[in-house]
Amino acid sequence: MSEQGLRPETIAAHALRAVDETTGAVVPPIHTSSTYARDGNYIPKLRENYVRNGNPTLWQAEEAIAALECGSSALLFASGMAAITTLLETVPAGAHVVAPDVMYYGTRDWLKRLEALGRIRLSLFEPSRPGALEAAVRAGGTDLVWIETPLNPTWDVIDIAAAARTAHEAGAILAVDATATGAVTTQPLKLGADIVFHSATKYLNGHSDVLAGVLVTREQTGRWRDIAMLRTKIGAPLAPLECFLLMRGMRTLFLRYRQASANALTIARHFEHHPKLERVLYPGLASHPGHAIAVRQMTDGFGGMMSFLVKGGFEDAKRVCTRLKVIVPATSLGGVESLAEHRKTVEGPASPVPDNLVRISVGIEHVDDLIADLAQALAGL
């Protein structure tokens, strides 16, 4: 089945091809072979002959994700960090990289490691300060601008189109971590980004049983070919079983994401003025400083991610997580089950994340049960 003319909900539900062309199977097969035979002329029967270069299960998942993001090509990796570090390998030695000062801590730590090794020059900007990104980018010297939107775990919103203009004017590329929007509500490539990244572990899979990352490109440039080569040389493609599980999760992506978004907006509004909270951080609230940008570039819900700033500080915020009965105190996000996490405990004392921040990944449970659980946890402070 061609993706031409299909709406994204159909692309996700069918993973592009609802029926296997060879067998007629409605569920796509898992190709587990590590090697593939050559024909009588010693030419590989597939476009690749070894699983480290790819296989049919991997390609089908990649094609579906590329179609969802309106990209020309996608590459799946064995983890989100494998995808990120491979992209960063294409930054020339000593080149300049710009990124937010608060973002997913794994990315921030890796960028700082590269800076400490003298591998890159790094500028971190404050997303909430007007003009900060523009001031950080150096015309003719910046190679890569990396942004998240919304930002994990403060959920600040960055204008992707404006960031793309700034990056391109400086001769840099823009890469967008769009994990929190799940390829449902924002399409960074259409807004000018060059590469979009997802931790596919999160919303794309949605069932907390796959570790995966994906990069999608707007154009298949020389840099993109380098990324593909590096994935093969490093040995980081996603394994066939995980590709199958990812596609199985993607079939319900839009249903899951919309339910989580609806739940999150209800919860955010319910607790916005709670006496035990300093603030609710959620871009769907009209009071959020990035709400106007979110309305413009998040076209199908504001997502299931939010954070609470708990009155009382570090210990009280951690206590909220341990008092929860329905919401699970665990790392990760984007699954069908709701999770809560005290980020400072996870990231450590050097983290710029506020001591009193509790990150909540809202799932698809009945929203009244989630509200009651959060209410009883806060009541115990």
Q: Would you call 104 a catalytic residue per the annotation?
A: yes
Among candidate residues 177, 194, 316, 373, the one labeled active-site is 177
| Alpha helical stretches, state H, 99-252 | 105-116, 132-136, 160-169, 222-234, 240-250
| Structural contact between residues 21 and 203, judged by C-beta atoms closer than 8 angstroms | no
Among candidate residues 108, 119, 202, 318, the one labeled active-site is 202
| Structural contact between residues 353 and 344, judged by C-beta atoms closer than 8 angstroms | yes
* Nearest CA-CA partner of 126 in 136, 137, 115: 136
Q: Which two tokens stand for residue 13?
A: 């539900």
Q: How far apart are CA 374 and CA 325, in angstroms?
A: 9
* Nearest CA-CA partner of 86 in 167, 195, 219: 195
Q: At what angle do helices 253-271 and 367-379 cross, to 10 degrees?
A: 40
Q: Would you call 319 a catalytic residue per the annotation?
A: no
Q: How far apart are CA 327 and CA 325, in angstroms?
A: 6
Among candidate residues 52, 121, 248, 319, the one labeled active-site is 52
The one-character DSSP state at 92 is P
Q: Would you call 316 a catalytic residue per the annotation?
A: no
Q: How far apart are CA 48 and CA 46, in angstroms?
A: 5
Residue type for position 351: S
Q: Would you call 203 a catalytic residue per the annotation?
A: no
Residue 270 exposed, middle or buried by CB count within 10 Å (0-12, 13-18, 19+): middle
The one-character DSSP state at 239 is P
| Structural contact between residues 244 and 212, judged by C-beta atoms closer than 8 angstroms | no
* Nearest CA-CA partner of 16 in 54, 72, 51, 68: 68
Q: How far apart are CA 91 and CA 75, in angstroms?
A: 18
Tally the residues of the chain: 381
Among candidate residues 104, 105, 203, 282, the one labeled active-site is 104
Residues serving a catalytic function are 52, 104, 177, 202
